Chain A
Amino acid sequence: AQSVTQPDIHITVSEGASLELRCNYSYGATPYLFWYVQSPGQGLQLLLKYFSGDTLVQGIKGFEAEFKRSQSSFNLRKPSVHWSDAAEYFCAVGANTNAGKSTFGDGTTLTVKP
């Protein structure tokens, strides 16, 4: 069975500082990996996804993530955080079945200090 762990429930960074959100997954084959962002009161928006190929993936809003098979990780990074990045971030692993039953992590809440 697939699973996702986001070790950090809550992270606080200063505006302009760099950010890294951790994600570890468990899956028997090559996973499909995703990062979503949820702003307060909103649904989830896809930031980026990894299916295959280059292990460094670029997404929207200046985010990137790196797939490391040896560490079973898919950490999300941003070099300089903006106040508008304050949100909840979810990592997900998919199986690319017809049904697309992705498994989501419990989320990491990002607070940005001015």
Chain B
Amino acid sequence: DVKVTQSSRYLVKRTGEKVFLECVQDMDHENMFWYRQDPGLGLRLIYFSYDVKMKEKGDIPEGYSVSREKKERFSLILESASTNQTSMYLCASSLVAAPDTQYFGPGTRLTVL
């Protein structure tokens, strides 16, 4: 089974802090994704990566950056956290051969105070 793990299930940070959310997948997937999930808004794509060191902006990249130094790891960075970034963050991965069949991690619920 594909396993996607996220470094924290719950995280509380203060406004202005730099925040790192880590995601690791163990199935050699080329594609990795970061979404945020908010009530009534569904899942919105922040960034995705289709290869090591490659990244593309999703629908809501403002205030976020990403890093992919190794194939199995995809990090989401909030350079200066703000209260409107309080949300559930979901990481996913997929194969290039089946890019839309995504496997999700359990999510990180981030609260910014």
Contact = CB atoms under 8 A, between A and B. Distances in A.
Interface in B73-113: 90, 92, 94, 96, 98-107
B42 A90 contact: yes
A104 B99 contact: no
A104 B42 contact: yes
Contact of B104 (A43, A97, A98, A100): A43
Q: Is the interface of B mostly helix, strand, loop or mixed?
A: strand
Task: Kindly state the interface size class of chain B when it binds its partner.
Answer: 20 to 34
Task: Kindly state the interface size class of chain A when it binds its partner.
Answer: 20 to 34
Nearest to B91: A43
Contact of A32 (B33, B100, B104, B106): B100
Interface string A95-108: 11111111011110
Nearest to A43: B104
A85 B57 CA distance: 34
